[in-house]
Structure 1
Amino acid sequence: MPAIPYWRLSSFYLFYFALLGSTAPFLALYFDHLGFSPARIGELVAIPMLMRCIAPNLWGWLGDRSGQRLLIVRLGALATLATFSLIFFAKSYAWLAMVMALHAFFWHAVLPQFEVITLAHLHGQTSRYSQVRLWGSIGFILTVVGLGRLFEWLSLDIYPVALVAIMAGIFLASLWIPNAQPVEQAERSGAGGFLRQLRAPGVLAFYLCVALMQLSHGPYYTFLTLHLEHLGYSRGSIGLLWALGVVAEVLVFMAMSRIFARFSVRRVLLASFVIAGLRWLLLGNLADLPGVLILAQVMHAATFGCFHAAAIAFVQSSFGARQQGQGQALYAALSGTGGALGALYSGYSWNLLGPHFTFGMASVAAFAAAVIIATRMSDSRNSP
């Protein structure tokens, strides 16, 4: 069995999720710094997520059709850098909306194809995926802590420069990655096309729950930083709180092989949804209490870490090699759909109904996903 290019794969995840660590906590803060209202902020944050509904499926089909997944990753990373750099020319709402749409169209081409390449290098060992993916979490941590401190000392006007530097790192890391193609397993050779595999028991229910999970994260990713700043937390402290959630995520990634040895994918997903519902209630109602806020951030281990690892395992075992790109792309697309809807509803409800109600709706979405998983998926389905 060929050696796994661990550090090469890990370096890409490091930079890719460093970019997420620079946008999730700070993008809304930057738009607030530019003077936009919560509704306009919600719309601008939703635009990249809406592009995630379209771009991954297009690029996933192209990757499966051509087999040129690594080329798509490299071109997508370069185009992301080039199109986002347009932000330096103007700061109007229309111009920023265009920049958000253009760079997201290429950014969302990258990760689903890279996930397929990573799993091909791992030879289907999904338990080892978490050991590589944890470096993405480390990149996220370094970014949220570093930028949180930086924005206490310097103006948010330098924010786009930081993003461009990280995007350059993503492109350079992509040049270091060796290619790999998924190998069709014998038992999958007669499994039929993508649509037939999509109609297998539990698969559509899973994808619906993916959208609900990301919808429930809408207030968290769009307004948590502004929410905590309003409650009196400093930007440095907020960066550390974001980092705490991802530290918990790293620890759970390191333990996923043992978790999967004891629990089915269905049970891991179910626990993730229930914990997400509880977490949003805590953030919406008790975030002014530091102890409760710390607990809520530690719950990120389940609401992202366990959920994402279980989701990747589910997709990898639900589709054949020739449909892997489309399966991962649909996961990304429905994540984007849910995330966009979450950003939009939270943007419109934040001032009108307040944080308590906005996070309450997020909790309802997560609990609804838990009910669907409990009733529409069996424990025997999809073990990693």
Structure 2
Amino acid sequence: MIPYWSLYLKSLDFSAETIGLLMATLHLSRIFSPALWGWIADRTGHRIRIIRIGALLTWVVFIAVFWQTSALGIGLVMLGYSFFWNAVLPQFEVVTLNYLGSQQEKYSQIRLWGSVGFIIAVLLLGYALDSISVDWIPIILFVLMILIWVNSLLIPSVRVSVIAEEVEVVSFKQLMLTPQVVAFFVITLLIQFSHGPYYTFFSLMMQKLEYTRSQIGMLWSLGVVAEVAIFVVMHSLIARLGLRLIMIISLFLCIVRWSLLALWPEKLLLVIVAQILHAATFGSLHAVGITLVHYYFPDSMKGRGQAIFSSIGFGLGGTLGAIVAGLLWESQGAAVAFGVAALASVVAIMLAYVWIHPEKVQQNSR
């Protein structure tokens, strides 16, 4: 959806501000939806059932998009379907890590297959859109949503035990107020905020520079190919460099990436470099973030931990990033929008340098 949905919205003659607000609705439900579903999953232990229900209601709600042409109608459909879609993602992270058990460092080797799927979809759709109308985008998305739901039915259901609510609530509140955890979630917010101009307007920027839709798809895919490559080796990088150093290096590369897109978007070679840096700005930071949540939260709270990671980062950070990008894009230009993204990364790297020390969490847990 992310690479091509803005093109579909543009075909409906929406302004940049409207497109920014509509793209923000994809993130808006992530502010509250994952936390709600995470709480339910931790209380009941039925994570697979929640994943199946969320995947089913995702495509059921999305059906309504075929009768919408107004910004309000499309926005309500996007908000509704994403409420259920965002029930799926964080719980699937928990299920994956639980299946891995003591081999959680291999998480990235499973996660990379999501990236492979993204590459295939973006490349094929990019080539197709050079020949077919963008009106096909909702239909293709609808088919993919149904396939996701069907796939969720094939996963074995395992119910985990739950513990007393009174003890959990107190411990969870105390944990959330730990300085390192607070800093981690602020960094998570800033990372996704900085991706706002990229996720919302990169395709439109490239189209304005007269790239074909297949070329735009290839550029998006290049970033995810780099992401796959980093996922393949992430387990060994974590063992060799540690989570803190990987986070700091990746945040520095965020600054480099957004600066390249701010200053030289017309230079193909530098855009290619910027896309390769997706390995750091999303790939390694996502893997590090998922792993840190697993460090910070005990078993009985992992569902809510992953949910809040999604809520604050992809939800609040993504929403603010899309809205601010939409406001800046036409009034100030692409350079300012990506410059603000780079500035957010500067703040994040300072917080990470001072506050992120995973080894202290491990020591305290002993």
TM-score, length basis structure 2: 0.94
Amino acid at match of 1:254: V
1:24 aligns with 2:24: no
Higher deviation after alignment, 238-247 or 190-199: 190-199
**Contact preservation (8 Å) 1:149, 1:239:** yes
Pairwise mapping of residues 218-257 of structure 1 onto structure 2 (< 5 A)? Answer: 218-257=196-235
Q: After the TM superposition, which residues 174-213 of structure 1 pair with which residues of structure 2 at under 5 Å, given as runs?
A: 174-180=152-158, 193-213=171-191
| 1:365 and 2:340 matched | no
- 1:344 aligned partner: 323
Aligned to 1:355: 334
Tell whether the 8 Å contact from 2:49 to 2:157 is kept in structure 1 after alignment: no
**CA positional deviation for 1:195:** 1.6
Q: Distance in 2 between matches of 1:361 and 1:326?
A: 30
Q: Which amino acid aligns with 1:134?
A: L
Question: Percent sequence identity over matched residues?
Answer: 40
Contact 2:168–2:300 (8 Å) recurs in 1:
no
Q: Is the 8 A contact 2:45 2:160 kept in 1?
A: no
- Alignment check: 8 A CA contact 2:45 2:161 kept: no
Residue 56 (structure 1) shift: 0.3
Query: What is the correspondence of 1:1-384 to structure 2 with a 5 Å cutoff?
Result: 23-180=1-158, 193-335=171-313, 336-378=315-357, 380-381=359-360
Alignment check: 8 A CA contact 1:281 1:363 kept? yes
Question: What is the CA–CA distance in structure 2 between the aligned matches of 1:191 and 1:74, rounded to whole Å?
Answer: 27
> What is the DSSP-based 3-state SS (H/G/I as helix, E as strand, rest coil) of the residue aligned with 1:380?
helix
Please state whether the residue corresponding to 1:295 is helix, strand or coil: helix
Opposite residue 25 of structure 1, the aligned amino acid is P
The residue type paired with residue 96 of structure 1 is I
Please name the residue that 1:12 is paired with.
none
SS class of match (1:149) = helix
Task: State the Cα distance separating 1:233 from its structure 2 match.
Answer: 1.3
Letter in 2 for 1:213: I
Is residue 193–residue 323 contact of structure 1 (8 Å, CA) maintained in 2?
no
Output the amino acid matched with 1:32: K
Q: CA deviation at 1:190?
A: 10
60-69 or 195-204, which deviates more? 195-204
1:80-119 per-residue CA deviation (whole Å, 9 max, x = no partner) reads 0000110112211111111011001001010111111111
- 1:188-242 Cα offsets, whole Å, 9 max, x none, are x999621222233411100010000000000000000000111121111110010
**What is the identity, as a one-letter code, of the residue corresponding to 1:162?**
I
Deviations 1:304-331 (A, max 9, x none): 1100110011001111111000000000
Matched AA of 2:339: G
RMSD: 1.7
User: Aligned partners of 2:16, 2:360: CA distance in 1, in Å?
Assistant: 42
CA deviations on 1:360-382 (whole Å, 9 max, x unpaired) are: 00000011100001011225245
The question of whether the paired residues in 1 share the 8 Å contact of 2:33 and 2:84 is answered with: yes
* 2:295–2:358 contact (8 Å) kept in structure 1: no
- For the 8 Å contact 1:148–1:239, the answer to whether it is kept is yes
Structure number with the higher helix fraction is 2
Contact 2:30 2:311 in 1 (8 A): yes
Task: Return the alpha-carbon distance in structure 2 between the equivalents of residues 259 and 180 of structure 1.
Answer: 31
Return 171-180 or 357-366, whichever deviates more: 171-180
Amino acid at match of 1:137: S
Query: Can you list the C-alpha shifts for 1:136-186, whole angstroms capped at 9, x where unaligned?
Result: 0001101110111111000001111000011011101100111346689xx
Aligned residue identity for 1:319: F
For structure 2, list consecutive stretches of 5 or more residues without a partner in the other structure.
none
